Structure 1
């Protein structure tokens, strides 16, 4: 895995690099574009945690995490996790996605959490294999038609 991987907060200086990032054309139906994620981050201040995934100076991906949200809206189920993960076209299979998930897990632990939740598009063309290989397990729930998975951080 590359050793110069790091996350960057989205700023006016890297905004254009962020919104220009695209997944492979055959994956566009699986994840929202970065610009939609940034719009959601804007309307959910304090909830969304958007970051560029960089290898040195090159933006190779985008993630957006969330921390301690009221999952059901009933005040009884607070979760933290990965809201979006976009790895740039031609950049998959190089450890960038694993780095992104590990970075979110580290941030959740830093904030006192012990579980990382995410969702993925079900089906043969979806990223289930990626998440399952990282140790995520389906919870039996769905959210917006997507599979809900959890990774215990213990």
Structure 2
């Protein structure tokens, strides 16, 4: 990371072009949708999507999108509402510098502020998938899948599985 602290910013007309230009490593493109796809989803799911850019100083280093209080599987359990990390893209040249951990922590803090007790994430399994990264951060596999992806959960607040 640079000498400044990373921070989150909303996507605005002033930074949207930089956001759209953000690219992950080529071998990761099968594991995460491009920012343009995520922003379209954020627009379509405006009530539940929370997209943010990760900056270090004036440099854009990543993109994240959280989901807030969605009905997970209404056919199975209509009361099962979840929040979590929907998308995480760290620019190829910025990976391995702590920005992914910062982004996950920022989402955890925002969800805890909103009263969530658990934070969910799903990931593509496989050699270049981010499963090891999420497990190192404390996510535990639930045994569920979502669209073929592995689902993990992390306790984040009072009453959460792993505390605050």
Q: Shorter-chain TM-score category?
A: over 0.9
RMSD: 1.0
Task: List gaps (5 residues or longer) in structure 1.
Answer: none
How far has the Cα of 1:73 moved from its partner? 2.6
Aligned length: 154
Distance 1:109 1:50 in 2: 17
Distance 1:114 1:58 in 2: 32
Pairing of 1:54-93 with structure 2 (within 5 A):
54-74=55-75, 75-93=78-96
Alpha-carbon distance in structure 2 between the residues aligned to 1:73 and 1:62: 29
| Deviant stretches of 4+, over 3 Å | none
**Counterpart residue number, 2:99:** 96
Q: Secondary structure at the match of 2:93?
A: coil
CA distance in 1, matches of 2:65, 2:135: 19
Match of 2:113 among 110, 114, 123: 110
Determine helix, strand or coil for the equivalent of 1:39: helix
Structure 2 stretches of 5 or more lacking a match? 157-162
Q: TM-score, normalised by structure 1?
A: 0.97
